[in-house]
Amino acid sequence: MTMLLFSLWNSPTVTLRRNHPSNCEQWNCPPARKVHVCNFISQVLASKIVLIFCISLSTPINCKAIELFDSVQIHGFASQAMFLSSGNGMFTDNKSNPNFEFTELGINGSWYATPNLRLSMQVLSRRAGRWDNGSPVIDFGLMDYSFNLDSTYRVGIRAGRVRQPYGLYNDTRDVAFTRPSILLPQSIYLEGARDLTISGDGLILYGESTKPWGNLTLELFGGYPRTESINNQFQAVFGYSGVLESNPSFVGRFNYETYNGRLRFALTGAYTTATASKSVPSPNGLVTFAPMIFSAQYTTEKWTLTSEYDFDFFKGENLGLPGFPINPDFNYFGQKYYFQAAYRFNPQWELMARYDAMYPNSHDQSGYQASIKSKGVSPDYSHYAKTMTVGLRWDITSTMMIRAEYNYINGTAWLPVQGVPTGVFGISDNNQTSKYWDLFGLQVSIRF
C-alpha cells in the first residue's frame, strides 16, 4: 500500500489506469467510478484551482472512497484558496491581490491487518507562501493496536508518526471540510506554531468508555514534535541561521461528550520544548511552550456553538547572539480565546460568525512594554490580534464545497511570518505591516 501511495504521488502525469491497465479492474467498484477516481488523482496533483473545479463537476455526486480490497480504504482531499487583503499579505509579503498562495493536497490509506491492528498513512503537500513549498511530507504514518474490553471500553496504542491530540480541530486541521473556516481560529491554532502541534514521532496511549451518560476519551502523547517548516523560517524569525530541534514533549487530551454528541467538552494540556542550535558558537537557545486549552461545543440540527480558551506559558531563553543590541528572550503568560456560531439554514448551506482574541502576553495586552523592550523593532500592535470573521459555506455535493469569508483584524500577532516583509539581515520587519486590515478569502475544496 505504501508503494502504491508513493507511486501515485511520484507520477503526477501518469494515471493509475495507464500505468496498470488491470489495476482498476481489480478494484471492488463499478467501472464508471474507477475512471473518475483515476482521473481525479492524477489531475489533482497538478494542483490548479480550475482543474479542481472541472474534476469535481465530473465526479459522481456520491463519490466514494476507494476500496482496493476488503479492509483497505484510500481517501484524499484538495483545496485551493484565494485571498484579498487591504493591508498585510496572507502567506506572502507581496501585497498583490488576489493571491493563490494557499493549497492543500492530501491522500491517505488505511488497512486493517487484523480486526485489532490497523496501519495508516497520510501524505500531505501544503503550499503556504515562501517556506511551505508543497513538497510532499508524511503527515502521519502509524500502527494502531486496539481492543474492546467489552462493548463499552476500548484501549489502544498508536505508534509512529501520530497526530497530536490538541483541542477540537487539530486532528484534521488540513482538511477544509472539517474546518469551520478557511483559516482556523488563529488564537488557538496559530499558523506559526503549526509544526510543533500537528503530528509528532512517538506514541499515543488511549482509552475510551461509552456509557449511557456519555463517552469519555483520554489520549496521551509522548514524542518529538516536528520542526521542518519552522526551520525554513528560522532566519526570518530569529535573525541568524540555525536549527530548531524538538525535545521529548507531552500532550494529553481528555474529551467528554454526551451520548447523542450534542454537547462536547475537552481539556488539553501540553508541555513542549525545543532547542535552537545556532550556526555560530554561542549557547543553545531553549523554547518552552505549555498550553492548557478548554474546549466546548454544542450542536443541534441547525446550530453549532463552539468556544475554546487557552492559557499558556511560553518562554524563550538564550535566543540572542552576543553583541545583539536587543535581547529577544521572553517569558509570557498568554491568553487566547474565540467564540464561534455556525448556522446551517439548509443541509448544504452554513453561515458562520466568530470573534477571536489573542494576547501572547496577558500582562501586556496593549503590547506597549514589548514594543519599548524591542526598541521599536516590533510595534505594539504586533503583540496582540483581535479578529472578527463572518463566513458562508456551500456544500455543493458531499464531495465538493466552496466557501467565502471576511475577516476584520486589529493587530498582527497571528500574521504568518511569510506575510511580514523582510528588513535588514533577513529579519522580518514588523514596522512594515498594517495595524488594521481586512482579509477576504474564497476557497474551493474536494474530498473523497
Per CB under 8 A, the list member of 35, 127, 131, 171 interacting with another protein is: 171
| 387 CB neighbour count, 10 Å cutoff | 22
Which three cell numbers, joined as nine digits, stand for 313?
506559558
Which of 1, 11, 35, 75 binds another protein (CB under 8 A)? It is: 75
Could you give the string, one character per residue 99-138, with x where binding to another protein holds by CB under 8 A and - elsewhere?
A: -------x-x-x-x--xx-x-xxx----------------
Q: What does the radius of gyration of the chain's CA atoms come to, in whole angstroms?
A: 22
Of 13, 135, 151, 346, which one interacts with another protein (CB under 8 A)? Answer: 151
Per CB under 8 A, which of residues 270..329 are in contact with another protein? 299-301
Q: Which residue's CB is nearer to another protein, number 93 or number 144? A: 144
SS3 at position 304: strand
* Residue 40 binds to another protein (criterion: CB under 8 A): no
Q: How far is the CB of 437 from another protein (least distance, A)?
A: 31
Work out the angle at residue 426's Cα, subtended by the Cα atoms of residues 230 and 370, and round it to the nearest 5 degrees.
Answer: 75
Closest distance of CB 112 from another protein, Å: 7
From the list 229, 318, 398, 422, which residue makes contact with another protein (rule: CB under 8 A)? 398
Amino acid making up residue 404 = A
- Helix H segments across 27-85? 31-44, 49-58
Those residues whose C-beta lies under 8 Å from the C-beta of residue 197, and which sit 6 or more positions away, are 164, 166, 170, 189, 225, 270, 272
Least separation, in Å, of the C-beta of 115 and another protein? 4
C-alpha grid cell for residue 443?
476557497
Question: Binding of another protein at residue 385 (CB under 8 A)?
Answer: no
Separation between Cα atoms, residue 354 and residue 346, nearest integer Å: 20
Cell 511580514 found at: 420
Q: 306 vs 361, which CB is nearer to another protein?
A: 306
Amino acid at 163: R
Mark 201-240 with x for binding to another protein (rule: CB under 8 A) and - for no binding: -------x-xxx--x-------------------------
Per CB under 8 A, 2 contacts another protein: no
Can you give the length of the chain in residues? 448
Check binding of 73 to another protein (CB under 8 A).
yes
CB of 377 to another protein, least distance (A): 39
Asked if 260 is part of the footprint of another protein (rule: CB under 8 A), the reply reads yes
Cβ atoms 379, 373 nearer than 8 A: no
Return the number of other C-beta atoms located less than 10 Å from residue 388's C-beta: 14
Which residues make Cβ contacts (< 8 Å) with residue 307, sequence separation at least 6? 295, 296, 297, 337, 338, 339, 340
Residues within the interface to another protein (CB under 8 A) = 61-62, 64-65, 67, 71, 73, 75, 77, 106, 108, 110, 112, 115-116, 118, 120-122, 140-142, 144, 146-148, 151-152, 154, 158, 162-163, 171-172, 174-175, 177-178, 208, 210-212, 215, 259-261, 299-301, 344, 347, 398
